[in-house]
Structure 1
């Protein structure tokens, strides 16, 4: 592995329509965090063309095309993660708001839950950084104007 190798893995922090809950999906068959709830999203692919196309592809693959969200593509809050394989991942977290549509999980997940923001610290099992990422996103939301949101 080169000292410059890393994966860019976009995460979508989907808030409910009333902004009181966030969508978490339970990972299945993963080397890292198997059986643990996480945000949806995944690695950028060479043919994605743009951040938005990559986010839309991952959203469609993981929770279905009928599940509609508005996403803020201009600012993220970021985390870094070292996998068991020692590969590094850069994880930009994007704000999104659920507009409608049914969730249809793919084979990467076994369950989903809308978890109240106020309950995130005690909800388990989850990726440990989730409460902090949501707190950061909530600070960012104050800067967003509705016309800047992109529907995917």
Structure 2
């Protein structure tokens, strides 16, 4: 029997916050089909399939200042919580990425549900070492951010974590 794949949705290069909010909604549909996420757990929590969002700083197509971009990213972190993403990892070193993380925390994703790391390598290290932060078979992940983020994560999952990765075409 073949293990279930890790389902991965990757934002197009140059995606902005509006694009990624749409991708989050699409991830919810993929998760529903896969039976993943907190919305699909029974009272005893018997399903171990989870949903993940790994986001870095996104493109700015509107010429917004940093304050407006921080507010946009904050709203993305909040939306991830509202659609019941189980684990959120904000990746980057700017105040804009920190706002994304803070939005998730302020919306109710706290404790080990939201993490803030500086680089893709730190995100991988966090997944390797933090209890409960390793995506597994049947999980659904959405990735958006700098061009080096998705390739680093997918490579890690395939070569080190030995997961079968299914890139979801939308």
Q: TM-score w.r.t. structure 1 length?
A: 0.28
Q: Is the strand fraction higher in 1 or 2?
A: 1
Q: Is the helix fraction higher in 1 or 2?
A: 2
